[in-house]
Amino acid sequence: MFEVFGNAWKVPDLRRKMLYTVMILVVFRLGSSIFVPFLDPTRIAALVGEGTLLEFMNTITGGALGNGTLFAMSITPFINASIIMQLLVVALPPLERIQKEGDEGRKKINTITKFVALGIALFQASAFYISLRNYGAVTYTDGVSGFIAMITIVGSFAAGASLIIWLGDRISENGIGNGVSMLLFAGIVSRIPNSIMGLFKQMSVERTQNYVLVPLILVIYIAMIAFVVLMTQAERRIPVQYAKRVVGRKMYGGQSSHIPIKVAMAGVMPIIFAMSIMSLPQTILYFFGIDGNKEGFWDGFLRAFNQNTLIYGVLYFVMIIGFNYFYIAMQYNPVEIANNLKKNNGAIPGIRPGKPTSDFIQSSLSKITLIGAIFLGFIAIFPIIFTNVTKVSGLAMGGTTLLIVVGVALETVRTLESMTMMRSHKGFLE
């Protein structure tokens, strides 16, 4: 990996792209340090407790949510909007036609996604403001009404979310990698030192237990990273043989190839889908001022959706498996692959062209999808299981965040490697 970065740094064009990406990430971190007026950071930090939706959001925002800063919403509104648009493109024929218009269609879909993201940002910011107000984290100065404070806080959060989308677009256009992924990566990585310090602080409590568990957590982190890298790179290769054909005096075809089916083809998207659905009850109840700290049905319902409860873990696992199948069904069409093979005189050895080929690909895809879904579900709920068994919350930044960090790191290295080869390859003319 370091060799790839070193080779890329030697290419002037790539060096400018890398520096530009770093500059945008620095701006992103600076925005995460600008405090929004009328908020008490100490009370917000208390509200963002362990095992809640707000704790996870605080992790992926790089601590911006817990500090009540400008980028408290981070890139999550845009991610939720992208998920909604992907579902609507499949469900609504007009949007599907727009997407099939090529680059112009994708630009239109991206513009619509940004407006949807703005609406989601306003809704989430309003829900968060109501929770902060009920928790006493909103402070009023002399001569400032509650309405002005509300407009300032909600407007700042929504404006910060919009600015992050713009920063992500700049990375995608002028930098290295996908802008949204890079901003998520930067936010999560910035929390790693705090997470490590939190682990060592736990060694001062119940020392006989934590002197064993804290080093064990570090070992588990390393093992999880290795496991995620292995499963992310793993794939099932379906062999393909192309028939020979003679055109004039030349013979074409006859070569062997394969169809790669990755185990973790959907990446982290099924987890994000499931988490977005699971977060809806909490977001809606926060909007109505229910924080789970009182007695009553809805407060109890909110506590049941705490991230460390058995109900949450089971529903989360089942939804990840379901969304993994759904996402791959949208992205992967066995019938189209079988038709393309037939048009190009290709065939899977021992399988007849046409429907038998599509059935074989579908069967292989279903098996690989199940393995990938179980892998994603296990990685996502393992921190919940570990926390409930050991009562140590050292793996709070595990699962989903680990998948994002490893996935973005691998994708960035692959992108840099391909860019380096493209710019340094001499070609046959030389």
Q: Give the Cα separation of 422 and 388 in Å (integer).
A: 49
Mean pLDDT rounded to a whole number for the chain: 80
Predicted model pTM = 0.78
Q: What is the predicted pLDDT for the residue at 159?
A: 93
- The C-alpha atoms of residue 178 and residue 411 are separated, in whole angstroms, by 9
Question: Is residue 137 helix, strand or coil?
Answer: coil
Q: Tell me what pLDDT residue 117 has.
A: 92
51-72 pLDDT, tens digit per residue, is: 556 666 777 787 788 888 899 8
Task: Determine whether domain 196-396 maps to CATH 1.10.3370.10.
Answer: yes
User: Distance between CA atoms of 322 and 2, rounded to whole angstroms?
Assistant: 37
Q: Which residue has the higher pLDDT, 193 or 164?
A: 164
The pLDDT of residue 207 is above 90: no
- Helices 310-331 and 355-390, packing angle to 10 deg: 160
pLDDT tens digits along 379-413? 888 877 777 776 665 555 566 777 888 888 888 88
Higher pLDDT, 305 or 186: 186
- The answer, yes or no, to whether residue 12 has pLDDT greater than 60, is yes
For position 24, what pLDDT does the model report? Answer: 93
d(CA 170, CA 163): 11
Domains 1-191 and 196-396 share a fold: yes
Planar angle of CA 335, 338, 341, nearest 5 degrees = 150
- Mean pLDDT computed over 311-330: 85
Going by pLDDT thresholds of 50, 70 and 90, the confidence category of residue 157 is very high
Task: Please tell me the least confidently modeled range out of 144-148, 310-314, 373-377.
Answer: 144-148
Rounded Cα–Cα distance for residues 228 and 320 (Å): 16
Q: What Å distances lie between residue 412 and 200, 225, 308, CA to CA?
A: 31, 16, 32
Its sign, for the CA torsion 94, 96, 97, 99, is positive
Mean pLDDT of 182-210: 72
Domain ranges of the chain: 1-191, 196-396
Greater pLDDT, 206 or 26: 26
User: Rounded CA gap, 274 and 259, in Å?
Assistant: 29
Q: Looking at residues 174-189, what average pLDDT do you find?
A: 86
Q: Is the pLDDT of residue 291 over 70?
A: no
Confidence class of residue 287 from pLDDT cuts 50, 70 and 90? low
Over residues 217-240, mean pLDDT: 84
Res 200 pLDDT > 60: yes
What local confidence, expressed as pLDDT, does residue 429 receive? 45
Q: Any idea which fold 1-191 has?
A: Preprotein translocase SecY subunit (1.10.3370)
